[in-house]
Chains A and B, each alone.
Chain A
Amino acid sequence: MTTNTGEIKNKFSYEKLFLLIIILVMLVLVVKCSITCYNNYASEPDLKNTIFAYNNIISKLRFDCRYANSAKVASNSLVLYDKNSKILCQYELKEGNLSRLDKNNNASTIFKNIESLSFYTGKDLPNLVTVRIYPADRKEIPFFTSFALRGLENGK
């Protein structure tokens, strides 16, 4: 009987050890999966924020350029004029942030942490504004596209 009980005790201790090892392996796998999922989830917002900011710039400039008839560009600012040569809105880079000022001088920041920005038009095509933006984070893609000034009436 004593021998039997001893055998059972030994068996149980082996089983417990085995059990512990298996649980440990499963725990390690669960932790590893959680870390991987967290890293994937955490890395997305940065990209989405930049793309979101770029989309914001596109929608704002597309809207403004529909009603703009001419543009005045400087090294880091853009002024859009309507058909009556009145200021429609302004875009300006200040302290690394791109802000948009509407005709009532209400400012709103549309992109933060910019390393450099330039607006330019061509001599042949003064009604085409090209925008180039380099975000401060060098890993992000630069913004490079153009907008035609359509000069439509009935702006906002």
Chain B
Amino acid sequence: MNNKNKKAVSLIEILLILAILSIAIVPFVHIISLSIPVDSHTDDEYMATLLAQHVMETIIAKRIKNPTFLPSVSESKPIVFNNEKDKISEYFDYFEEFKGPITKKQDSQLYWAIDKFKCKVDTYLLDSNLFKVVVYIIYQKDGREMKVYLERLFPYNNYLGDNNMDDEGEN
């Protein structure tokens, strides 16, 4: 009889431990999942990549039109019109459809989708025949500055129609 009682109690004890563990493990799993960096492509990251492509393709189109065109180095600038037109990135300051930059009034959906992003362009001279253009699209996420960049090598005086020199990344 004593043996029977002991067995029943031990089974319940195991189940009790399992139940407590299953409840206690939930916050631990949550903490661990928070500590793992997000690897998935978020909407912001994807939108930033589309915007970086717009800037790089604009530079390529300008180089096709004028092979001596060299993009100037620019600081981080907004890409939609808020108050001061001078502060908008030169790659977003005129669109034929809007007859100017993107504004809240003309296209509110697009405005709010890209309002948070800023654009910065860096140009590096690598040697006498080659220069590198890096396009950064910058945005804030959870208080951290996020950057998506697209880089490309260009030769002097003639454009490259091939995509093999493209590179992109994020940090």
- The 0/1 profile, CB within 8 Å of A marked 1, for residues 146-166 of chain B is 000000000000000101000
Among A15, A47, A141, A146, point to the contact of B54 (Cβ < 8 A).
A146
- Measured in the bound complex, the distance between the Cα atoms of B97 and A128 in whole Å is 13
Q: What is the interface of chain B mostly: helix, strand, loop, or mixed? A: helix
Contact A23:B15 (CB < 8 A) given known A12-B8, A29-B23, A128-B57: yes
- The 0/1 profile, CB within 8 Å of A marked 1, for residues 77-94 of chain B is 000000000000000001
Q: How large is the interface on A (under 10, 10 to 19, 20 to 34, 35 or more residues)?
A: 35 or more
- Please state if B57 and A142 are interface contacts (CB–CB under 8 Å): no
- Please state if B57 and A148 are interface contacts (CB–CB under 8 Å): yes
- Please state if B114 and A128 are interface contacts (CB–CB under 8 Å): no
Chain B residues whose C-beta falls within 8 Å of the C-beta of A81 in the assembled complex = none
- Measured in the bound complex, the distance between the Cα atoms of B50 and A22 in whole Å is 52
Asked if B22 is at the interface of the complex by the 8 Å CB criterion, the answer is yes
| Interface of B toward A, CB cutoff 8 Å | 1, 4-5, 8-9, 11-12, 15-16, 18-19, 22-23, 41, 43, 46-47, 50-51, 53-54, 57-58, 60-62, 64-65, 94-97, 109-110, 113-114, 161, 163
| Nearest residue, chain B, Cβ from A121 | B96
Q: What is the interface of chain A mostly: helix, strand, loop, or mixed? A: mixed
- Please state if B113 and A141 are interface contacts (CB–CB under 8 Å): yes
- Please state if A145 and B61 are interface contacts (CB–CB under 8 Å): no
- Please state if B109 and A144 are interface contacts (CB–CB under 8 Å): no
- Please state if B109 and A128 are interface contacts (CB–CB under 8 Å): no
- Measured in the bound complex, the distance between the Cα atoms of B65 and A26 in whole Å is 69
- Please state if A127 and B54 are interface contacts (CB–CB under 8 Å): no
Chain B residues whose C-beta falls within 8 Å of the C-beta of A19 in the assembled complex = 11-12, 15
Chain A residues whose C-beta falls within 8 Å of the C-beta of B97 in the assembled complex = 118, 120, 130, 132
- The 0/1 profile, CB within 8 Å of B marked 1, for residues 25-65 of chain A is 11001000000000000000001000100100010001000
- Measured in the bound complex, the distance between the Cα atoms of B18 and A11 in whole Å is 22
9 additional A-B pairs beyond A19-B11, A144-B50, beta carbons within 8 Å, are A4-B1, A22-B15, A29-B23, A66-B163, A123-B96, A124-B94, A130-B97, A132-B97, A132-B110
- Please state if B51 and A144 are interface contacts (CB–CB under 8 Å): yes
Q: How far is the CB of A50 from chain B (nearest CB, A)?
A: 9
Q: How far is the CB of B64 from chain A (nearest CB, A)?
A: 6
Count chain A CB atoms within 10 A of each CB in B41, B53, B57 and give the residue with the most. B57
